[in-house]
Amino acid sequence: MIAALEIIVFAYLAFCVLYNLIFSVAGKLSFNKGKNYHTTKVFSRIAILIPAYKEDDIIISAVKSYEQLEYPEDLYDVVVIADSLQPATIKDLKVHRNVIVIPVSFEKSTKARSLNTAFAQLDDVYDIAVIADADNILEADFLLKVNHAYVTEGKHAMQAQRVAKNLDTPFAIMDAANEIIANHINRKGANALGLSASLIGSGIAFHYPLIKQALKETAAIGGFDKVLQQLLVYKGYTIHYLEDALIFDEKVENAAAFENQRKRWLSSQFVYLKKYFNKGCRALLKGRVDYFYMAVGQNMLLPRMLLLAGLIFMTAIYLIFGGILWISVYMWLLLSLGYAISLLLPLPGKFYSKYFFKILLHLPGAIGIMLSLVFKLKGANKTFIHTKHSKTDIDNPLINVARK
């Protein structure tokens, strides 16, 4: 009985490690070919949609940054979906170039509800819809790169590379490292293996009619991106990772913000695994590997910090009691090594010299938070958990290595 339990636990954790390792190596072996985005002579009409829930402190600064984009200014509009913004903020927004303000108010605010309201009010004159968060800043040539992928390569569903706007606290550094690893494994690695890149929720771009119709079928409170990605892949679309297109995102600064963010993510993962498990398995039987991967495969995995905690715990148990247990402690050590390699491969060299030891010092606290969240998930997916933002400037020394 004990041996059978050991095998089950080992097999599941080994599956999680093997997934991370294979996708990490695949991402490392996939090389980004340089492209001249200025050769595209056809310019699409683009709507940049920004759901802004009580983001009065940063939305004006974000909108100002969009005025600096390298794209014909008569071919893109910035649509601010003003959810519970102050009247003075709305007034200030309206004086900026290319800005359309759509005030909204909901009993329960969600990104999907804000976006659906905006799509219902906008004219269908756009070719591409880009969705960004209120704290996001786009790289100057972001729209050129999205337009090139859409016009020249025929890509209708895209996820840009989201990178940290700030690295000013240990939690911000950990959040940034997690984003680098996720970009490498879940997006670059997935595309390298012929699978769709997972969506993050911002820095995403779509064929306008496609996303307008897809969002009509999306009403999630938590995990908006998880619902959307499985819906698009089920419809037969591949989600492409635009590694060259950078969007800057504010990283959480403290333990409280980290806990709120991870609670939302963890809850949505478990909820949607249960919701889409049967549908995903049926799709796999029909040979639809990409949909199974998106709806089931990703959601079956332990979050990275929980997996790390599990491997450390199991290795320690086998170091102490290995003599009376069935699986060798060396198997657990090998598994831990494989997982460490999968996490270390995506991180750029500059990260190790500047930030690695800061992460090691604060990692136990972050793991403790993740473990505690396992017991706090009840109802989390039914509640809108807002993360407050305040950063208006980009302060990230790793920007120059983001594409490597």
Residues 196 and 122 occupy one common structural domain: yes
Residues 362 and 229 occupy one common structural domain: no
Judge contact between 204 and 160, C-beta under 8 A. yes
> Mean pLDDT over residues 17-29, rounded?
96
> Mean pLDDT over residues 334-357, rounded?
90
**Across 80-94, 163-177, 324-338, which has the greatest mean pLDDT?**
80-94
Which of 86-90, 138-142, 220-224, 365-369 bottoms out in mean pLDDT, i.e. has the lowest? 220-224
Residue 349 has pLDDT above 90, yes or no: no
Domain hosting 294: range is 2-29+267-382
- To which H or E segment does residue 207 belong? strand 204-207
The pLDDT of residue 383: 53
Residue 102 has pLDDT above 80, yes or no: yes
Residues 235 and 302 occupy one common structural domain: no
CATH number of the domain residue 223 falls in = 3.90.550.10
278-305 per-position pLDDT tens digit:
999 999 999 999 999 999 998 899 888 8
Residue 258 lies in a domain: no
What is the pLDDT of the chain when averaged over all its residues? 86
Residues 217 and 278 occupy one common structural domain: no
Residues 273 and 238 occupy one common structural domain: no
Side-chain half-sphere CA neighbours of 124 within 13 A: 8
User: What is the rounded distance in angstroms from the CA atom of residue 51 to the CA atom of residue 207?
Assistant: 19
Judge contact between 146 and 48, C-beta under 8 A. no
Structure-model confidence comparison of residues 369 and 330, the more confident one: 330
Residue 161 vs residues 319, 368, 377: alpha-carbon distances, Å: 40, 29, 29
Residue 360 has pLDDT above 90, yes or no: no
pTM above 0.95, yes or no: no
Residue 220 has pLDDT above 60, yes or no: no
The pLDDT of residue 171: 84
Residue 304 lies in a domain: yes
Quickly tell me which residue has 């999630």 as its tokens: 220
Residue 276 lies in a domain: yes
User: What is the rounded distance in angstroms from the CA atom of residue 288 to the CA atom of residue 275?
Assistant: 18
Which of 110-124, 191-205, 231-245, 257-271 bottoms out in mean pLDDT, i.e. has the lowest? 257-271
- To which H or E segment does residue 161 belong? strand 157-164
Residue 379 has pLDDT above 70, yes or no: no
> Mean pLDDT over residues 189-217, rounded?
94
Domain boundary residue, one of 253, 285, 301: 253
Judge contact between 339 and 54, C-beta under 8 A. no
Residues 124 and 216 occupy one common structural domain: yes
The pLDDT of residue 101: 95
Residues 243 and 281 occupy one common structural domain: no
Residues 246 and 313 occupy one common structural domain: no
Report the percentage of the chain scoring pLDDT > 90: 52
Residue 401 has pLDDT above 50, yes or no: no
Residue 38 has pLDDT above 70, yes or no: yes
> Mean pLDDT over residues 391-399, rounded?
72
Q: How many separate domains does the chain show?
A: 2
The pLDDT of residue 221: 58
**DSSP secondary structure of 328-346:** -HHHHHHHHHHHHHHHHTT
Judge contact between 101 and 90, C-beta under 8 A. yes
Residue 240 lies in a domain: yes
User: What is the rounded distance in angstroms from the CA atom of residue 302 to the CA atom of residue 287?
Assistant: 25
Judge contact between 190 and 290, C-beta under 8 A. no
Closest CA relative to residue 131, chosen from 224, 203, 79, 59:
203
Structure-model confidence comparison of residues 253 and 164, the more confident one: 164
